[in-house]
A and B are shown apart, each in its own frame.
Chain A
Amino acid sequence: MSQIILHGRKAIGGSAAGEAIVSVEPLGGFCAVNAAEGRITERGHELEGQCFAGKILVFSLAKGSSGWSGAYQAARQLGKGPTGLVVKTMNTRAALGAVLMRVPTMTDLDQDPTKVIENGDWVEIDAENGCITVTKQSGRVISGAPE
Chain B
Amino acid sequence: MYLTDVEKAMLNGEQGQAKAVAMDLLVRYAEALGAERMVKTNSCAFGVIGGQHPMVKALHMDPYDFDAMYSVFSLDLDTDKTIKIPQLTVQSACTLSGCSDDYLDYIGASADLRKSQYEGEEYMRKTGFMLTQTCAPYLCGVMPVKGEHCAWCESSAIIYLNSVIGARTNNEGLAATGSAAIAGRIPYFGLHLDEERRGTHLIQVERQPRTPFEWSLLGYYAGTAVQIGIPVINGINETPTTDMLKAIGAAFATAGAIDMFHVVGYTPEALNLEHAFGGNKPVDVIKFGEKELQWAIDKLNFKEDADVEMVMLGCPNYSISEIRYLAKVLENKKVKIPLLVMTANSTKAMSDFSGYTKTIEAAGGRFIRGGCPLTSGAPTNIKVLAVDSTKLAHYTPGLTMQHMRLGTVEQCVNAAVTGKWEEEKR
Contact = CB atoms under 8 A, between A and B. Distances in A.
Contacts of A93: 171, 173, 257
B173 A69 contact: yes
B153 interface: yes
Contact of B397 (A11, A43, A89, A91): A43
A19 B336 CA distance: 52
A28 B227 CA distance: 12
Interface string A93-107: 101111110000100
Interface in A20-47: 26, 28, 30-32, 36, 41-43
Interface string B345-386: 000000000000000000000000000001000000000000
Contacts of B100: none
A73 B175 contact: yes
B176 interface: yes
Interface residues of B, number: 39
B7 interface: no
B228 A61 contact: yes
A31 B72 CA distance: 21
Per DSSP, chain B at the interface is helix
A96 B396 CA distance: 24
Contacts of A78: 58-59
A64 B289 CA distance: 25
Of all A-B residue pairs in the complex, the 8 with the closest CB atoms, nearest first, are A69-B173, A95-B32, A11-B32, A31-B398, A31-B395, A63-B257, A96-B173, A31-B399
B352 to A, nearest CB: 31
A62 B395 contact: no
A67 B59 CA distance: 19
Given A12-B28, A26-B256, A77-B55, A70 B227 contact: no
Interface of B: 25, 28-29, 31-34, 55, 58-59, 72-73, 76, 78, 153-155, 158, 170-176, 189-190, 227-228, 253-254, 256-257, 374, 395-399
A63 B258 CA distance: 8
A85 to B, nearest CB: 10
A93 B33 CA distance: 10
Contacts of B176: 69, 92, 96
A65 interface: yes
Nearest to B154: A66
Nearest to A13: B31
Contacts of B33: 11, 90, 92, 95
